[in-house]
A and B are shown apart, each in its own frame.
Chain A
Amino acid sequence: GQQVMQIPQYQHVQEGEDFTTYCNSSTTLSNIQWYKQRPGGHPVFLIQLVKSGEVKKQKRLTFQFGEAKKNSSLHITATQTTDVGTYFCAGPPHRFNKFYFGSGTKLNVKP
């Protein structure tokens, strides 16, 4: 069945260090979305990538969608304590009207 895996599962960084999480799908995705979930909170939408090879930036966050539309990455430059949370990728497999969330990467930032 469809699987969306993320690595690493956990990441502890010192404030100011960079952080990257990788998302890999077992099948081609129509598009990919990224969400952030703060501890005790609910997922909040960050961005959507649709095109093969697409790169988008939001301040210190850079998102990439792979050429084969099966993988994606989120890179945070110079992390801050406000970046703490779990980052999920999610998306619908191509031609399927379903939606799958990745396993998530939990980021902890030490001040």
Chain B
Amino acid sequence: EAGVAQSPRYKIIEKRQSVAFWCNPISGHATLYWYQQILGQGPKLLIQFQNNGVVDDSQLPKDRFSAERLKGVDSTLKIQPAKLEDSAVYLCASRRVRRDGNYNEQFFGPGTRLTVL
């Protein structure tokens, strides 16, 4: 099966500009995650969707970050306006929902490397 697709792979912007990232999860995966991974750190969960509903966005800086998952498939993550500290790799991951409610593996996309100058 095809993996998680993300675009663009790289983006360089100046602070205060806007940027958007796109993610296409694996077909049939109801759960979608956006993570921020700063160099040398573990991925930090920004937002989690189940189909097109938000499950958790407690770590999403809502004053500048927004995300949506229309129709429960593709998702976009937007930053407006960007700050220097937003420089990171933005990872999208998806997983199939298990009927027993337990977690199973997440499949990650290649990520988008954002540099804010």
Contacts and interface: CB of A to CB of B under 8 A. Distances in A.
B101 to A, nearest CB: 9
B60 to A, nearest CB: 12
A48 B104 contact: yes
Contacts of B35: 101
Interface residues of A, number: 23
A22 to B, nearest CB: 14
Contacts of A27: none
Interface stretch (B13-21, B41-49, B69-77, B78-86): B41-49
* From A43, A48, A104, residue with most partner B Cβ within 10 Å: A43
Interface string B75-106: 00000000000000001010000000011111
Interface in B9-64: 33, 35, 41-45, 48, 55-56, 58
Which of A50, A98, A102 has the largest count of B CB atoms less than 10 A from its CB?
A98
A97 B101 CA distance: 10
A43 B41 contact: no
Contacts of A4: 42
Contacts of A45: 105-107
Interface of A is mostly: loop
Contacts of A92: 103
Contact of B45 (A48, A50, A98, A102): A98
Contact of B103 (A33, A44, A101, A104): A33
B33 A42 contact: no
Nearest to B105: A45
A88 B103 contact: no
Contacts of A99: 33, 45, 48, 103, 106
Contacts of B109: 42
A43 B102 contact: no
Nearest to B59: A98
A43 B56 contact: no
B56 A100 contact: no
A82 to B, nearest CB: 19
